[in-house]
Amino acid sequence: MSSLVAAEMEDLEAFRGRARAFIRGNLRPIGSTVMTVRSRVSDEEELAAVARDREVQRMLFDARLAGVCVPREYDGLGLTPAHQRALNEEIAGFEFPSRIQVPTFAPCAAVLLEFGTEEQKRRHIPAMLRGEEIWMQFLSEPSGGSDVAGALTSATRDGDGWLLNGSKVWTTGAWWSDWALCLARTDWDVAKHAGLTVFILPIHQPSIDVHRIEMLNGNREFCQEFLNDVRVPDDDRVGDVNDGWTVGTRWMFHERMSYNSPLVTFPADAIHGVAGGASTLELARAAGRADDARVRDLIGEAQTLEIVWRELQRRVGEGIATGTMSSQSSAVARVFHCLATMRQTTIAFDVAGGAGGAWSNDDDGPLARAGTDFLMRQVSCIGGGTTEMARNVVSERVLGMPRERTLDKDVAFRDVPRSPTAKR
């Protein structure tokens, strides 16, 4: 670090005090932040929440508390991960722009900062920081699951631009978002990893049809997008043509980091969600079982998993930042997060007792959703990349075990056998 940059670096404790004063003077207290797949809310309520998130993000930007680790030339503060951790600690218990953090800043902004052109970064990063652009990732496809390299969405040269055709799926909040980072196939005559390219595109345009998917708990935030001759100028290509796997590998790293990314503002005291966003202890009290010895053991297990997950995230984040751990170690935290969340949800269902099997009565409060939350428990092991794929990363890229044998290596992608419904 140059002496000039060091001299300009804001003192950590001064930054913390400034953040604390702003947060307590301007943001609404909300108590604990609970990570959960929300049950259905009305479109009006969702859009109002999105608008408030944009407003809060702009407030943070105006207060010089947005983009803590984003370089100054893109309207960030150019500070350290320690400054971001301080902000995350101070914002605990208060509202924050939750819908804008992931995937707008991690992985989308992270990918642009790493691979985007100077024009792309100057056009989009400041807009993200001001809450004017919410980004999503067009990555998963109906036919590919977690096999990201098997993308069938095509990008064909058309003059000085590209025409994209295909479908993406499981995009959280695409119906109220602005821009997308999109992986597409640009060469069918090379092996699948070698023929991919990444693009950016606005979501709301006549050539993109956004279809909302209703989950069994009534949630409709997941979407499927149909791309029909979507024109993308070559200036909106990220990275080199057919080098999308290089971008994609880092993209998935930043996705696994998500809430542990130094680009993301997220309360340090956040906990995994159980029924209706309540803690396991709150569920036990609502069910009148807080004094049951077995239930207390379950509460202890759930809270232990929470502590271990938080500390594991911190350890992996620091290890990657300092270079003492491989960047692929983020998959270790990913695997634990998936399994811990599923176990915590199962514990919540057990603690709810009989109310967990009859969840239609809203008078039961958080107990009313214990059943549907239990049925949704595997979402954490699928969204953002499956647990199976994360295990592969741990075994092959962290532990150095032999790669799993594949039949499509060095085979032109157009010749790889696919089911009739998945063919180009």
Q: pLDDT tens across 148-187, in order?
A: 888 999 999 999 999 999 999 989 899 999 999 999 999 9
CA angle 380, 370, 140 (to 5 degrees): 25
User: Does residue 150 sit within a domain?
Assistant: no
Q: Which of 41 and 69 is assigned the larger pLDDT?
A: 69
Cβ neighbour number for residue 176 with a 10 Å cutoff: 20
Predicted confidence band of residue 419 (pLDDT cuts 50, 70, 90): low
Asked which of 186-190, 316-320, 383-387 is least confident by mean pLDDT, the reply is 383-387
Asked which of 1-10, 67-76, 311-320, 342-351 is least confident by mean pLDDT, the reply is 1-10
How much is the average pLDDT of 208-215?
94
pLDDT, tens digit (0-9, with 9 covering 90-100), for 231-257 = 999 999 999 999 999 999 999 888 888
What does the alpha-carbon distance between residue 386 and residue 254 come to, in Å, rounded to a whole number? 15
pLDDT on residue 272: 58
Whole-number mean pLDDT of the chain? 88
pLDDT, tens digit (0-9, with 9 covering 90-100), for 382-395 = 776 778 888 888 89
pLDDT on residue 145: 64
User: Does residue 79 sit within a domain?
Assistant: yes
User: Does residue 138 sit within a domain?
Assistant: no
User: Does residue 239 sit within a domain?
Assistant: no
User: Does residue 187 sit within a domain?
Assistant: no
- Number of structural domains (the chain) is 2
Return the percentage of the chain with pLDDT > 70, whole number.
91
Q: Which residues span the domain enclosing 352?
A: 270-398
What does the alpha-carbon distance between residue 40 and residue 45 come to, in Å, rounded to a whole number? 10
Cβ neighbour number for residue 334 with a 10 Å cutoff: 29
What does the alpha-carbon distance between residue 243 and residue 251 come to, in Å, rounded to a whole number? 13
User: Does residue 205 sit within a domain?
Assistant: no
User: Does residue 190 sit within a domain?
Assistant: no
CATH classification of the domain holding 380: 1.20.140.10
- Residue 54, token pair as written in the block: 């944009």
CATH classification of the domain holding 62: 1.10.540
- Residue 379, token pair as written in the block: 């979402």
User: Does residue 244 sit within a domain?
Assistant: no
Which pTM value belongs to this model? 0.85
Q: Do residues 336 and 387 make contact, with C-beta atoms less than 8 angstroms apart?
A: no
How much is the average pLDDT of 87-114?
96
Strand bridging mode 271-272 / 237-238? unpaired
Predicted confidence band of residue 5 (pLDDT cuts 50, 70, 90): very low
